[in-house]
Protein backbone atom coordinates (compact mmCIF):
# COMPACT_ATOMS: atom_id res chain seq x y z
CA UNK A 1 0.00 0.00 0.00
CA UNK A 2 2.84 2.38 0.78
CA UNK A 3 4.16 1.79 -2.74
CA UNK A 4 0.83 2.82 -4.27
CA UNK A 5 0.70 6.02 -2.24
CA UNK A 6 4.24 6.85 -3.31
CA UNK A 7 3.26 6.39 -6.93
CA UNK A 8 0.37 8.82 -6.44
CA UNK A 9 2.81 11.46 -5.27
CA UNK A 10 5.40 10.87 -7.98
CA UNK A 11 3.08 10.38 -10.96
CA UNK A 12 0.27 12.82 -10.37
CA UNK A 13 -1.75 15.03 -8.07
CA UNK A 14 -4.44 13.15 -6.09
CA UNK A 15 -7.26 15.25 -4.63
CA UNK A 16 -11.02 15.08 -4.13
CA UNK A 17 -13.23 16.82 -6.70
CA UNK A 18 -16.25 18.93 -5.78
CA UNK A 19 -18.60 16.11 -6.82
CA UNK A 20 -16.90 13.68 -4.42
CA UNK A 21 -15.03 11.76 -7.11
CA UNK A 22 -11.31 11.22 -6.78
CA UNK A 23 -9.49 13.67 -9.03
CA UNK A 24 -6.07 12.80 -10.45
CA UNK A 25 -4.03 15.38 -12.38
CA UNK A 26 -0.90 14.54 -14.31
CA UNK A 27 1.25 16.03 -17.05
CA UNK A 28 1.14 14.40 -20.47
CA UNK A 29 3.53 11.51 -21.20
CA UNK A 30 3.88 10.72 -17.50
CA UNK A 31 2.79 7.46 -15.87
CA UNK A 32 -0.29 7.74 -13.67
CA UNK A 33 -1.95 5.46 -11.10
CA UNK A 34 -5.74 5.42 -10.81
CA UNK A 35 -6.68 4.28 -7.27
CA UNK A 36 -9.35 1.71 -6.47
CA UNK A 37 -9.46 -0.28 -3.22
CA UNK A 38 -12.13 -2.02 -1.18
CA UNK A 39 -12.46 -0.53 2.28
CA UNK A 40 -12.80 -4.06 3.66
CA UNK A 41 -9.40 -4.98 2.18
CA UNK A 42 -11.02 -8.23 1.03
CA UNK A 43 -8.89 -10.55 -1.09
CA UNK A 44 -9.95 -10.05 -4.72
CA UNK A 45 -7.60 -12.51 -6.44
CA UNK A 46 -10.61 -14.61 -7.45
CA UNK A 47 -12.95 -11.68 -8.08
CA UNK A 48 -13.95 -9.65 -11.14
CA UNK A 49 -13.31 -5.93 -11.49
CA UNK A 50 -13.76 -3.87 -14.63
CA UNK A 51 -12.30 -0.46 -15.50
CA UNK A 52 -14.10 1.72 -18.06
CA UNK A 53 -13.61 5.28 -19.32
CA UNK A 54 -16.58 7.59 -19.78
CA UNK A 55 -18.98 4.73 -19.13
CA UNK A 56 -18.29 2.60 -22.21
CA UNK A 57 -14.61 2.50 -23.25
CA UNK A 58 -12.95 -0.70 -22.01
CA UNK A 59 -9.72 0.15 -20.18
CA UNK A 60 -8.82 -2.91 -18.08
CA UNK A 61 -10.55 -6.06 -16.82
CA UNK A 62 -9.47 -8.65 -14.25
CA UNK A 63 -11.42 -11.86 -13.82
CA UNK A 64 -9.97 -14.46 -11.44
CA UNK A 65 -6.44 -14.12 -12.85
CA UNK A 66 -7.38 -13.42 -16.48
CA UNK A 67 -6.76 -9.96 -17.93
CA UNK A 68 -6.97 -8.23 -21.30
CA UNK A 69 -4.31 -9.62 -23.56
CA UNK A 70 -3.98 -12.74 -21.41
CA UNK A 71 -7.22 -14.69 -21.58
CA UNK A 72 -9.62 -11.79 -22.08
CA UNK A 73 -10.40 -9.68 -25.17
CA UNK A 74 -12.28 -6.46 -25.79
CA UNK A 75 -9.85 -3.82 -24.56
CA UNK A 76 -10.05 -0.51 -26.44
CA UNK A 77 -7.09 0.08 -28.78
CA UNK A 78 -6.35 3.38 -27.04
CA UNK A 79 -5.18 1.43 -23.97
CA UNK A 80 -3.60 -1.67 -25.50
CA UNK A 81 -0.18 -2.32 -23.96
CA UNK A 82 -0.44 0.73 -21.68
CA UNK A 83 -2.42 -0.49 -18.66
CA UNK A 84 -1.27 -2.78 -15.85
CA UNK A 85 -2.43 -3.71 -12.34
CA UNK A 86 -0.69 -4.50 -9.04
CA UNK A 87 -0.90 -8.27 -8.69
CA UNK A 88 0.80 -8.36 -5.29
CA UNK A 89 -1.84 -5.99 -3.88
CA UNK A 90 -4.92 -7.98 -4.93
CA UNK A 91 -4.91 -9.90 -1.63
CA UNK A 92 -5.42 -6.55 0.13
CA UNK A 93 -8.43 -5.56 -1.99
CA UNK A 94 -6.43 -3.19 -4.21
CA UNK A 95 -7.67 -2.99 -7.82
CA UNK A 96 -5.68 0.10 -8.81
CA UNK A 97 -4.24 0.36 -12.33
CA UNK A 98 -1.34 2.20 -13.88
CA UNK A 99 -1.52 3.92 -17.29
CA UNK A 100 1.85 4.52 -18.92
CA UNK A 101 2.62 7.62 -20.98
CA UNK A 102 -0.71 9.30 -20.33
CA UNK A 103 -2.07 11.39 -23.20
CA UNK A 104 -4.42 14.34 -23.24
CA UNK A 105 -7.02 12.09 -24.88
CA UNK A 106 -6.88 9.84 -21.77
CA UNK A 107 -8.61 12.56 -19.75
CA UNK A 108 -12.08 11.59 -18.59
CA UNK A 109 -14.16 9.83 -15.92
CA UNK A 110 -13.00 6.31 -15.06
CA UNK A 111 -15.08 3.75 -13.20
CA UNK A 112 -13.72 0.79 -11.23
CA UNK A 113 -16.62 -1.66 -10.94
CA UNK A 114 -17.07 -4.85 -8.88
CA UNK A 115 -20.30 -6.18 -10.48
CA UNK A 116 -20.43 -9.49 -8.56
CA UNK A 117 -19.96 -8.15 -5.07
CA UNK A 118 -22.97 -7.98 -2.76
CA UNK A 119 -23.71 -5.16 -2.69
CA UNK A 120 -22.16 -4.11 -6.00
CA UNK A 121 -19.42 -1.49 -5.59
CA UNK A 122 -18.29 1.12 -8.10
CA UNK A 123 -15.62 3.81 -7.67
CA UNK A 124 -15.27 6.86 -9.92
CA UNK A 125 -12.02 8.67 -10.69
CA UNK A 126 -11.60 11.76 -12.82
CA UNK A 127 -8.33 11.92 -14.73
CA UNK A 128 -7.04 15.23 -16.12
CA UNK A 129 -3.98 14.98 -18.34
CA UNK A 130 -2.44 18.40 -18.95
CA UNK A 131 -0.17 19.33 -21.84
CA UNK A 132 2.04 22.07 -20.37
CA UNK A 133 3.78 24.14 -22.99
CA UNK A 134 6.52 26.78 -22.86
CA UNK A 135 5.72 29.92 -24.89
CA UNK A 136 7.89 31.01 -27.80
CA UNK A 137 8.19 34.81 -28.06
CA UNK A 138 9.89 36.92 -30.72
CA UNK A 139 9.59 40.22 -32.65
CA UNK A 140 8.08 39.72 -36.11
CA UNK A 141 7.99 43.29 -37.38
CA UNK A 142 10.03 46.36 -36.46
CA UNK A 143 10.44 50.00 -37.49
CA UNK A 144 12.18 53.04 -36.01
CA UNK A 145 9.32 53.79 -33.63
CA UNK A 146 7.56 50.47 -32.93
CA UNK A 147 7.89 46.68 -32.77
CA UNK A 148 5.28 43.94 -33.21
CA UNK A 149 5.82 41.01 -30.82
CA UNK A 150 4.41 37.51 -31.29
CA UNK A 151 3.99 34.74 -28.73
CA UNK A 152 3.10 31.18 -29.77
CA UNK A 153 1.84 28.47 -27.41
CA UNK A 154 1.37 25.17 -29.22
CA UNK A 155 -0.52 22.02 -28.20
CA UNK A 156 -1.64 23.18 -24.74
CA UNK A 157 -4.36 21.51 -22.66
CA UNK A 158 -6.35 22.62 -20.76
CA UNK A 159 -6.64 25.98 -22.48
CA UNK A 160 -4.10 28.36 -20.92
CA UNK A 161 -4.29 32.09 -20.29
CA UNK A 162 -1.69 33.90 -22.39
CA UNK A 163 -0.65 37.51 -21.73
CA UNK A 164 1.95 40.04 -22.86
CA UNK A 165 3.40 42.10 -19.98
CA UNK A 166 5.90 44.94 -19.82
CA UNK A 167 8.86 45.15 -17.42
CA UNK A 168 6.63 46.56 -14.67
CA UNK A 169 4.19 43.67 -14.95
CA UNK A 170 1.43 45.63 -16.66
CA UNK A 171 -0.72 43.60 -19.07
CA UNK A 172 -0.53 44.94 -22.63
CA UNK A 173 -3.36 45.11 -25.17
CA UNK A 174 -2.98 42.18 -27.56
CA UNK A 175 -4.67 40.36 -30.42
CA UNK A 176 -5.24 36.62 -29.87
CA UNK A 177 -5.75 33.88 -32.44
CA UNK A 178 -6.72 30.31 -31.46
CA UNK A 179 -6.30 27.21 -33.65
CA UNK A 180 -7.47 23.71 -32.60
CA UNK A 181 -4.59 21.27 -31.99
CA UNK A 182 -4.27 17.51 -31.64
CA UNK A 183 -5.95 15.49 -28.88
CA UNK A 184 -8.24 18.31 -27.70
CA UNK A 185 -5.34 20.76 -27.30
CA UNK A 186 -5.15 24.33 -28.61
CA UNK A 187 -2.56 26.47 -30.36
CA UNK A 188 -2.59 30.14 -29.37
CA UNK A 189 -0.92 33.08 -31.12
CA UNK A 190 -0.81 36.40 -29.25
CA UNK A 191 0.45 39.64 -30.85
CA UNK A 192 1.10 43.05 -29.33
CA UNK A 193 2.66 46.31 -30.56
CA UNK A 194 5.14 48.22 -28.36
CA UNK A 195 6.69 51.65 -28.83
CA UNK A 196 9.26 51.80 -26.04
CA UNK A 197 12.63 50.14 -25.45
CA UNK A 198 12.39 47.49 -22.74
CA UNK A 199 11.98 43.84 -21.76
CA UNK A 200 8.60 42.28 -22.55
CA UNK A 201 7.33 38.92 -21.27
CA UNK A 202 4.87 36.41 -22.67
CA UNK A 203 3.27 34.71 -19.65
CA UNK A 204 1.34 31.43 -19.92
CA UNK A 205 -0.81 30.38 -16.97
CA UNK A 206 -2.47 26.94 -16.72
CA UNK A 207 -4.57 25.89 -13.76
CA UNK A 208 -3.52 22.81 -11.83
CA UNK A 209 -0.07 21.32 -12.11
CA UNK A 210 1.38 23.52 -14.87
CA UNK A 211 1.40 26.90 -13.12
CA UNK A 212 3.27 29.56 -15.18
CA UNK A 213 5.79 29.57 -18.01
CA UNK A 214 7.49 32.72 -19.32
CA UNK A 215 9.53 33.75 -22.37
CA UNK A 216 11.10 37.22 -22.65
CA UNK A 217 11.96 39.54 -25.54
CA UNK A 218 14.24 42.60 -25.39
CA UNK A 219 13.12 45.44 -27.65
CA UNK A 220 15.27 48.39 -28.81
CA UNK A 221 13.46 51.31 -30.39
CA UNK A 222 16.10 52.97 -32.63
CA UNK A 223 14.20 56.03 -33.87
CA UNK A 224 14.82 59.51 -32.38
CA UNK A 225 12.61 60.52 -29.54
CA UNK A 226 9.99 63.07 -30.46
CA UNK A 227 10.35 66.32 -28.50
CA UNK A 228 7.40 68.54 -27.68
CA UNK A 229 7.05 71.83 -29.63
CA UNK A 230 5.67 73.16 -32.88
CA UNK A 231 4.82 70.32 -35.26
CA UNK A 232 7.15 69.96 -38.21
CA UNK A 233 4.32 70.54 -40.69
CA UNK A 234 3.57 73.94 -39.21
CA UNK A 235 7.23 74.93 -39.45
CA UNK A 236 7.29 74.09 -43.17
CA UNK A 237 4.04 75.98 -43.80
CA UNK A 238 5.25 79.10 -42.00
CA UNK A 239 8.56 78.96 -43.90
CA UNK A 240 6.82 78.73 -47.26
CA UNK A 241 4.55 81.66 -46.40
CA UNK A 242 7.54 83.76 -45.27
CA UNK A 243 9.39 83.11 -48.54
CA UNK A 244 6.25 83.95 -50.55
CA UNK A 245 5.71 87.21 -48.68
CA UNK A 246 9.35 88.22 -49.13
CA UNK A 247 9.19 87.46 -52.84
CA UNK A 248 6.01 89.51 -53.12
CA UNK A 249 7.64 92.43 -51.30
CA UNK A 250 10.67 92.37 -53.64
CA UNK A 251 8.40 92.25 -56.67
CA UNK A 252 6.32 95.21 -55.49
CA UNK A 253 9.45 97.24 -54.83
CA UNK A 254 10.88 96.43 -58.24
CA UNK A 255 7.77 97.44 -60.17
CA UNK A 256 7.32 100.56 -58.06
CA UNK A 257 10.86 101.74 -58.78
CA UNK A 258 10.45 101.00 -62.47
CA UNK A 259 7.20 102.88 -62.63
CA UNK A 260 8.69 105.91 -60.86
CA UNK A 261 11.63 105.95 -63.32
CA UNK A 262 9.30 106.16 -66.32
CA UNK A 263 7.24 109.06 -64.96
CA UNK A 264 10.17 111.27 -63.84
CA UNK A 265 10.55 114.59 -65.89
CA UNK A 266 14.14 115.37 -67.06
CA UNK A 267 15.62 118.66 -65.79
CA UNK A 268 15.67 121.61 -68.38
CA UNK A 269 12.52 120.56 -70.17
CA UNK A 270 9.51 122.93 -69.86
Instruction: Name the CA dihedral angle for 45, 46, 48, 49, rounded to a multiple of 10 degrees.
Output: -10
Residue 12: predicted pLDDT = 53
Span 185-242, pLDDT tens digits: 899 999 999 999 999 999 999 876 677 899 999 999 987 644 444 554 555 565 666 6
Confidence of residue 115 (pLDDT cuts 50, 70, 90): very high
Residue 233: predicted pLDDT = 54
- pTM confidence score: 0.62
Asked if pLDDT for residue 31 goes beyond 90, the answer is yes
Confidence of residue 16 (pLDDT cuts 50, 70, 90): very low
Please state the rounded mean pLDDT for residues 153-178.
94
Exposure string of 68-99, with b = 16+ CB inside 10 Å and e = fewer, is: beeeeeebeeebeebbebbeebbeebbbbbbb
Residue 4: predicted pLDDT = 43
Please state the rounded mean pLDDT for residues 164-176.
96
The chain-wide mean pLDDT, for the chain, equals: 83
Q: Which residues contact 265 (CB under 8 A, 6 or more apart)?
A: none
Span 34-91, pLDDT tens digits: 999 999 999 999 999 999 999 999 999 999 999 998 989 999 999 999 999 999 999 9
Could you give all domains of the chain from N- to C-terminal order, each with its CATH number? 2-130 (2.60.40.10), 136-219 (2.60.40.10)
Question: For residues 125 and 110, is the Cβ–Cβ distance under 8 A?
Answer: yes
Instruction: Please count the other Cβ atoms lying within 10 Å of the Cβ belonging to residue 263.
Output: 6
Asked if pLDDT for residue 174 goes beyond 70, the answer is yes
Q: Which residues contact 147 (CB under 8 A, 6 or more apart)?
A: 139, 141, 193, 194, 195, 219, 221
Span 252-269, pLDDT tens digits: 666 666 656 655 445 554
Helix (H) or strand (E) holding 259: helix 232-263
Residue 18: predicted pLDDT = 42
Q: Which residues contact 209 (CB under 8 A, 6 or more apart)?
A: 12, 13, 25, 26, 27, 130, 132
Higher pLDDT, 10 or 124: 124
Residue 164: predicted pLDDT = 97
**CA atoms of 52 and 125, how far apart (whole Å):** 10
Amino acid sequence: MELILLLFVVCGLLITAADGNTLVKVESYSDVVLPCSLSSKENIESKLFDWKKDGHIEVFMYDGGLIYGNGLSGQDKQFEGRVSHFGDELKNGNASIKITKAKVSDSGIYSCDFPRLQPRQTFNIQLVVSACRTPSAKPIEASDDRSVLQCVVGGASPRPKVEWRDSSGQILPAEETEVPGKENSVNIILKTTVTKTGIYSCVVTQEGICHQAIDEVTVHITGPEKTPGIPYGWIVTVGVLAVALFASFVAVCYFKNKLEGRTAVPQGEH
